[in-house]
Structures are given as C-alpha cells and as structure tokens.
Amino acid sequence: MMKIVTFLILTSLISCTKNNDKADGYGNFEATEVTISSEANGNIEYLKLEEGVILQPETQVGLVDTTQLYYSKQQLIASKATIYSKSRNVLSQRSVLQEQLKTTLIEKKRIENMFAENAATKRQVDEIVGKVNVLNEQIKSVATQNDPIVNDVRSIDVQIEKINDQIEKCKIINPIKGTVLAKYAEPNEVTAFGKPLYKIADITEMTLRVYVDETQLPKIKIGQIVSVKIDFGKEMKSYQGTISWISSSAEFTPKIIQTKEERVNLVYAVKVKVKNDGVLKIGMPAEMWIK
C-alpha cells in the first residue's frame, strides 16, 4: 500500500512539473509587408499576378494606359520640329553674313596693304573697317534672335523627358522578391496615383516577435541560436531561430501573454529570425525556448 501511495505522489509531481514547463517567450510571426501603389492615373491594361504567387524583383507585372501620354509626346515632337525650322532660317542668315564677312575681311586686308603703299586713301580704309563692323553686329543680332529659339527647344526637350518619365511610371514594376499577400485591383479598372494595387512580402525568412521579462535578458544576446515551436496538429513543431534584435527599453506586456500576472509586468521585445519551410504564416503564434 505504501509503494502505491509513493508512486502516485511521484507521478503527480512529474505531471505538475511538466505542466509548469513554460516557454521563455511568446509571440507572433511577422514579415515586412510592402504595399505597391500606382504611380499613374488611368485604365489598367493588364496586371499579371495572383495572391500566393512569388514575384521576382524588377519584373513588370502590369501596365496603366499610356495613350494620352503618347499623343502628348508626339505633339511636342511636332512642335520641336517647327521650332527647328525657324532656327534653321536664322542660322542660314548667319551663314550668309559670315560668308560676306570673310569676303569683306579679304578686301579689308587688300585695301590696308594698298594704303601702306600709298595706293589707297584713308577714306577707303575707314569704309572697309566700317563694313566689317556692321557685318559683325549683324551676326551678333542674328545669334541673339536664335537664343530664344534654342531655349524653346530645351523647354520642349524637358517636357518630352517628363512625359517619358510618366510613361515609365505607367509600368507596374515589382520592386522586391516576395509572395503576393493581397491583390487590390484588376485589369480594366481605373486606377489613380497612390492607389494600392497589391501587397507583397518576403516570407522565405520570418520574424518572430516575442517578449521576455527582465530576469531573462542576461540569458539572451543578438546572434544567439534559440528554439522556436509552433502548434502542429497534436504536437509541437520545432525550428531553429536566431535572435536578431533586442529592445533597449521596456514596455507593458501585450495581450498575447496569457496569464493575468504576466500581463501586468514590463517586458522587452525580441526579434527572432526563422527560415520558413512554407508552414509559417504571418500572425501565427509561436514560442521561443532558450537552449
């Protein structure tokens, strides 16, 4: 009879010990979610993505209608051609004047040589010098007329570059590698600047945010390997995790901590990086066990 009582007591103690065995931290998995928004206004021509699909970075997944931008660009190109024609007329006038100046300079040199030999008068020299000065002033005047035309061309070039940038922004380019978590738009819908199109996150590596109390801080450090466990049917599934961040300030225990006593304590947030085998999901609860 004594042996039976002893056995029952030992069994009870082992059972109590097992039930009181608690994890060192509790929390939920999270990932950096990126919401991709439209950078243009207009009709969505196509949007090639679905929830759960893995997208590669710098991949074009959609396009917003660019018809009006294309027409605006063609109009600017036509205006630029018209302005160029005006510039060609001005430049042709300058070319004529420059040829006249070349001939006049030759004549000036000849008259100056004749004047040196007393074969020409001072009046002839003054006349040819005056003619050269007039031609130089006319060339400057023509160049001045061309400056506003050149500025107009530069202004149109800037407008064309602006439209080219707008056309590029009509392309929906996926920025990071990740899994599409949510899709907010469909082809043939009208979108606007800043309107969300889809949400994506890299879930190949998840972050478990857990909370530990002050007494546990000396046991952990950044880079430390810990065990992470999740509910997996009737059992617990374990993963290897690495502590990547420890909060420098305390905060009140969040509601995910179950007991009333623990909820009133101050705790420190800890982030644990865990490789995802496809089972881990955003928001899934998990436990951290310090090895």
Q: What is the DSSP string of 240-289?
A: EEEEEEE-SS-EEPPTTS-SHHHHTSEEEEEEEEEE--S---TT-EEEEE
Q: State whether 141 and 226 are in the same domain.
A: no
Number of domain units in the chain: 3
To the question of pTM greater than 0.75 for the whole model, the response is no
Contact 160, 75 (CB under 8 A): no
Q: How confident is the model over 56-101, as pLDDT tens digits?
A: 999 999 999 999 999 999 999 999 888 878 777 777 777 877 888 8
Write phi, then psi, for 231 (nearest 5 degrees): -70, 130
Q: State whether 164 and 133 are in the same domain.
A: yes
What stretch of H or E contains 197? strand 196-201
Last residue of a domain, one of 114, 145, 169: 169
Written as six digits, the tokens of 60 are 């074009």
Q: How confident is the model over 94-140, as pLDDT tens digits?
A: 787 788 888 888 888 888 888 888 888 888 888 888 888 888 888 77
Domain CATH for 207: 2.40.30.170
Q: What is the DSSP letter of 126?
A: H
Structural domain boundaries enclosing 136: 67-169
Q: State whether 57 and 101 are in the same domain.
A: no
